[in-house]
Every structure is written in C-alpha cells, then in structure tokens.
Amino acid sequence: MHELGITHNIVAIVIENAQGLTVKRVTVEIGQLSAIMPDAIRFCFDICCQGTILDGTTLEIIEIPGLGKCRHCGTRIPLSQPFGQCYNCGSIELEIIQGQELKIKEMEVEEICV
C-alpha cells in the first residue's frame, strides 16, 4: 500500500509548515487518475498523525475528476481511466490535462491569542 508512504509525506510536510501551531484541518486534492485511493489516505492519516501535533486533525479530500484533451481536434473529454477515445474525431491520442494531481491545498491552524 503506497498510500501509507504518501500519507506519511503529507503529514511531514504539514508539520513542517505548521511551525508548531495546532492544525485543525488539512485539505488535500487527489486526482481520480492518480492511482491513489482516497479511502486509504483517510485511514492512514489518523495513524500517521498519532503522537504528532496533527493528532486529532481533520482531513478533507477533494477528488479531482479526470479530463483529457484530444491531440488531433482539441476536444476536451472526461476520463475515468488514464486512456480513452475522442468522441468527436475517434482519435485515441489524448493528453491528460487534469486528474493526476496530489496536492496539499490548504491547512487551517488555530489562532494564537496573545
């Protein structure tokens, strides 16, 4: 399960950028063509956060749909797998333009009251 390693890296990046502040929520974008299972990331997140400043942090995952562009006619085609056929001209030469992302979109930290 490569999701455990991916989640460990997500947690490490968030901890580094939190600079010791309490993180309430982390939002991650995962493309549907990325071969990363969002449910596995959710499961691993709680495990990877245990004993860190992220313990108890909420994980929000936004799934980005696959989208391709025909290299012949330029038609944009929704993709549920990393290949397909253009419904406009019949070409199978598609460029994937969306859906392979894995990105930490944002993190919400608690305000510091001074």
Does 104 fall in a domain?
Answer: yes
Look up the domain containing 61 and give its range.
2-65+98-109
Total domains present in the chain? 1
The CATH number given to whatever domain includes residue 37 is 3.30.2320.50
pLDDT tens digits, 44-68:
999 999 999 999 999 999 999 999 9
d(CA 94, CA 70): 5
Q: Name the CA dihedral angle for 37, 40, 45, 50, rounded to a multiple of 10 degrees.
A: -160
> What is the predicted pLDDT for the residue at 12?
97
Does 85 fall in a domain?
Answer: no
The predicted model scores a pTM of 0.86
d(CA 51, CA 8): 13
Pairing of strands 58-64, 76-79: unpaired
More confident: 92 or 1: 92
Indicate the annotated binding residues for Zn(2+). 70, 73, 86, 89
d(CA 3, CA 1): 5
Indicate the annotated binding residues. 2, 70, 73, 86, 89
